[in-house]
Amino acid sequence: MNEFELIADLFAPLATTPGAFGLKDDAAVFRAPEGFETVITKDVMIEGVHYLSGTNPARVAQKLLRVNLSDLAAMGAEPQSYLLGCQFREDVSQNWLHEFAQGLTEDQTTFGISLLGGDTTKTPGPNAFSLTAIGALPQGTAIRRSGVQPGDEIWVSGTIGDGAMGLMMAKGEYTPKDASDAPFLKDCLELPTPRIGLGQRLRGIASAAIDVSDGLIADLGHLARASGVGLTLAADAVPLSDPCRRALAEGASDLATLLTGGDDYELAFSAPAGSRDGLLSAADDAHVAITLVGLASDGEGTVRVLNEGQPMAVSQSGYRHF
């Protein structure tokens, strides 16, 4: 298949919104609903850097989409469409391409979105992808990183550390003793769940939010610096899955690794102390657990980590791609 056949065969069927013009024009057209504004984000994912070679192609596509949707979720936006830039290796197989497109097809249904445009090319390098995700929210309601106030409580959705343990496992550095933990951790690494429903329900309640992609401590650092506050994280309060608890009990990992590993795609957010009922109700509606893990105070953009009340040493706060 040449470039044009590939687009017609694999990608045009994904361009279900009229403004995509069936991927047959120079650009696409869209409009945010009346009273709404557009939220936009772009992430890059490279084979061997952001995901392991040999990962199921459908899941490569789905993770690419989901890490971007997670950014939209952190702003409180509803996803609408996306543009896709594909750099495929010279030796990519037809089967790989079809599975990649199948992953997008599935997730378009799951998240109610449409492909809007993009570009496809071959590369002498590894497979690499960029995705631009587009969402919408009522004008002026975006949840920013910079809104944390001293006295706010810090919350996190879901569980933290599963992506890090999933990566250790995928790299052959960890084999769970409990066999059922393996598929769970693999799914957490390869198929994260962007907290879209929660993000939208946090609009007007949360004072700030971020998605946990670089590692919880690093991402709290981003919140703290953007807001000009100090944050205290109670490491022992951070919610962990049973597989992660077992990995800790087996001595296969430590808490610092889980809090700095990244690839969680949970939301970390702040809210005034009086917001607990509203937050718990929002989380309940979104079918996701949330846990109180910290507190904001006057400060200079720093994160203090306590474990059972004692300062906890953390050598590296999070993953850096550069």
Q: Which residues bind a second copy (CB under 8 A)?
A: 1-4, 6, 21, 24-32, 37-44, 46, 48-50, 71-72, 74-75, 77, 83-88, 116-126, 128, 130, 132-135, 139, 142, 144-146, 209-211, 222, 226, 320-322
Amino acid at 189: L
CB atoms within 10 A of CB 29: 12
Q: Which is nearer to a second copy, 79 or 166 (CB)?
A: 79
- Min separation Cβ 37 and a second copy, Å: 4
Q: Which is nearer to a second copy, 92 or 306 (CB)?
A: 92
Q: Which is nearer to a second copy, 4 or 177 (CB)?
A: 4
**By the 8 A CB rule, do 155 and 291 touch?**
yes
Q: Which is nearer to a second copy, 217 or 235 (CB)?
A: 217
Contacts of 149 (CB under 8 A, 6+ apart): 207, 227, 229, 270, 272, 296
At residue 114, what are phi and psi to the nearest 5 degrees? -135, 145
Q: How far apart are the C-alpha atoms of 189 and 184, rounded to whole Å?
A: 9
Q: How far apart are the C-alpha atoms of 102 and 99, rounded to whole Å?
A: 5
- Min separation Cβ 310 and a second copy, Å: 29
- Min separation Cβ 146 and a second copy, Å: 7
Q: Which is nearer to a second copy, 146 or 281 (CB)?
A: 146
- Min separation Cβ 172 and a second copy, Å: 20
Contacts of 52 (CB under 8 A, 6+ apart): 170, 171
- Min separation Cβ 144 and a second copy, Å: 6
Parallel/antiparallel/unpaired status of strands 229-234 and 303-307:
parallel
- Min separation Cβ 25 and a second copy, Å: 5
Q: How far apart are the C-alpha atoms of 80 and 1, rounded to whole Å?
A: 29
- The CB-based long-range contact list for 15-19 (8 Å cut-off, 24+ gap) reads 15/114, 15/115, 15/116, 15/117, 16/108, 16/114, 16/115, 17/81, 17/114, 17/116, 19/116
Strand order in the sheet with 267-271: 208-211, 267-271, 153-157, 290-298, 229-234, 303-307, 310-311
- Min separation Cβ 126 and a second copy, Å: 5
Q: Which is nearer to a second copy, 72 or 165 (CB)?
A: 72
Q: Which is nearer to a second copy, 46 or 237 (CB)?
A: 46
